[in-house]
Structure formats: structure tokens, C-alpha cells
Amino acid sequence: MRLFEELFENADDGVYGVKCVWKLGGEGYFEGVKGLTEFSPAEIRIHTRLGEVQVLGKGLSVKKYADGDLYVGGRIYTLTLATPSEGKC
């Protein structure tokens, strides 16, 4: 995602160590994902190097997940940041 890199080259680590972009219609792209700790059509929990990000929505699906990149289909309504646990991330 060269455009993403150009737009956010001077940004910090994004949301809890993961960068994210929402597409029109509610889908989202996340970069820097270490793993998924929970998955359902209503909730996805994303493990990052700094903690966990909770994605809530409707009809959520994993369209792509490889090499730290996660593309979530469906409609994302909210992101919630969990409190980081020292030594776990």
C-alpha cells in the first residue's frame, strides 16, 4: 500500500501498533497485525505489538490475512482499545 505509506509516513504507530483504514461501506484494512484472538460476525479482536484492538460490527469477515495485513469485510461500527498488558505483547 504505497499510498498508505506516503500519507502516514510521519504518523506514529497508529492504533495500538496497527495502522488502519476504513473503506466506504464499513470494510477496513489493518497493517501490523500479530494475530487474531477472537473472531465472529459481530466481533474481531486483533492482537498487536502494543495490545489488543476490538473491532465491532455486522457481518464481519476476514477477506485477507497474510504477512501482518488484515482486510476485514462487512460493516465496522467501532474500534475499542484494550489496556495493554506488560509482557504479553
User: Could you read off the pLDDT of 42-63 as tens digits, one per residue?
Assistant: 999 999 888 888 999 999 999 9
| Average pLDDT across the chain, whole number | 81
* Regions of the chain with pLDDT less than 70: 1, 4-5, 7-17, 83-89
Identify the structural domains of the chain with CATH numbers, from first to last: 2-88 (2.60.40.2000)
Type of residue numbered 67? D
Can you give the pLDDT at residue 77? 93
**pTM for the model:** 0.72
The terminus-to-terminus CA distance of the chain in angstroms comes to 25
Can you give the pLDDT at residue 22? 80
